[in-house]
Amino acid sequence: MSDHKQQPATPSLTTTKRGDILQIASTVIQTEKDAIEGLLDRIDADFEKAVQQLSACKGHIVVSGIGKSAIIAQKLVATLNSTGTKATFLHAADAIHGDMGMISQEDMVLLISNSGESAEIKVLAPLVRTLCSGLVALVGNKASFLATHSDFVISTGITKEACPHNLAPTSSTTAQLVLADALAICLMAINGFKPADFARLHPGGDLGRKLHLKVADLYTHNARPAVHRETDLKAVILEISKGRVGATAVLDDKDKVIGIVTDGDVRRMLERTDSLSGILASDIYTQNPKTITADMLAINAMEMITKWDVGQLIVTQPDGCFLGFLHVHDLIREGIY
């Protein structure tokens, strides 16, 4: 007889277990969805007061938490800093061991905790309240120690986690994250944070390139097809073909843009006339064409092209003088369109 013990076979995943997995996943998602929908009732006067006070903060918003709430705090700090609100992360455990020295009287502190009753929070809340200009609680229980020791309370109201044992932070952290995002975007709006500001704070990577890239960086390699009102049809067609941007600008005697002739304009003209003799650019050009200045962001050019459903924009100086063409292919090449 062999001395080797027979190893138990690896259990197979039965159809019933597969069904259980799908059911568990669906229940988790539904529970967290319900938690998020419940937040709509939490956007109230208390939330508004907290946002107003945070927007008036002259120093930094110091965001703190313990455990999973600390991770949400870090995410909020990253979002605030990237959208124009100065913020600093302070771990609650580090805070009660000396790091509270980073808090100044001009700062406001935002403490995140679902229960509002953890040992670190109970030590931290009364102390930081004496060090800063105001304490905001993002908490699940309005009757908790943290809530009652804070100047402003934002409540998630979460009592049920998606965890079947109601233990692992799931619904509570999801609710914290959503409310934190709502808070950050409110502050962003109050601060008048614009795409240009976003570009200034995000210079690196693909996002930064898209936000910094200007029309001037894209159009200069293109041909500059242009004619005048008195240019005959044959010359107009040759200029469009030579330019390879599907159009030609029509200029006045001071080289200011007064119109555009596209290859589509030429085709439509050929469909409705038998005689091409004597036809000039002034007979077929479109007045008030879509233009853009060289100093505008390429992402704005994309928005204009999409809005107006055109294939190209005429680039001009602020006074209307012709500079060239920006084609939709220029934006596609840069990964913007």
Binding site: which residues?
Answer: 91
Backbone angles phi, psi at 8, to 5 degrees: -65, 145
The CA distance from 85 to 184, in Å, is 8
> Rg (Cα) of the chain, in Å, rounded?
31
Chain position carrying tokens 């809340």 = 125
Q: Cα(35)–Cα(185) distance, rounded to whole angstroms?
A: 20
Residue 66 CA, distance from chain mean position: 28
CA distance 169 to 69: 9
Calculate the CA 245 to chain-centre distance.
32
Question: Which residues contribute to the annotated binding site for Zn(2+)?
Answer: 91
Q: Answer for the pair 113, 137: CB distance below 8 angstroms, yes or no.
A: yes
Phi, psi of 292, rounded to the nearest 5 degrees: -150, 150
Q: Is 239 exposed, middle or buried (CB count within 10 Å of its CB: 0-12, 13-18, 19+)?
A: buried
> Between β-strands 87-91 and 61-65, what pairing exists: parallel, antiparallel or unpaired?
parallel
- Write the CA distances from 155 to 138, 268, 316, integer angstroms: 6, 63, 53
CA dist 129 and 98 (Å) reads 16
